[in-house]
Amino acid sequence: MSTTLVIAVVFINIALVLYTFGVWAERIQHRLKWWHLIFFWGGLAADTTGTTAMSIINGSLFRLSFHGITGNTALLLMLFHAIWATIVLLKKNEKQIASFHRLSLIVWLIWLIPMISGIVFGATH
């Protein structure tokens, strides 16, 4: 197993742990908090690192495949999610802070699609 593959697998799994923990902690608490944001940004950074390592292995940053399309879409959604969470907390809008977990769950569920397809198909598509 190549070092790059090990890095990719480790960072994708770190992303899974960080992002899942952040999303579900927020969902359970029904209130977006600053520490959730740390997990969102950390999950995004880890996923970006893992995806970049996989791209090096595949020789392409983007592949026109189910996994490639859903993976890049998920990364963009994670970025939007983290930026929007930051904005919501900075604005201190109580209604948005209390309902943000709905968006988080949707983004997390979409993010799971390439995560699972990468496991099932070995990210070869």
Whether the per-residue pLDDT at 105 is higher than 80: the answer is yes
Separation between Cα atoms, residue 108 and residue 77, nearest integer Å: 9
The pLDDT tens digits of the residues spanning 32-87 come to: 999 999 999 999 999 999 988 888 887 766 667 777 888 889 999 999 999 999 99
Tokens matching residue 78: 């994670």
The residue type of 75 is L
pLDDT of res. 125: 42
Whether the per-residue pLDDT at 118 is higher than 90: the answer is no
* Rg, the chain, Cα only: 15
* Domain regions of the chain by residue span: 3-121
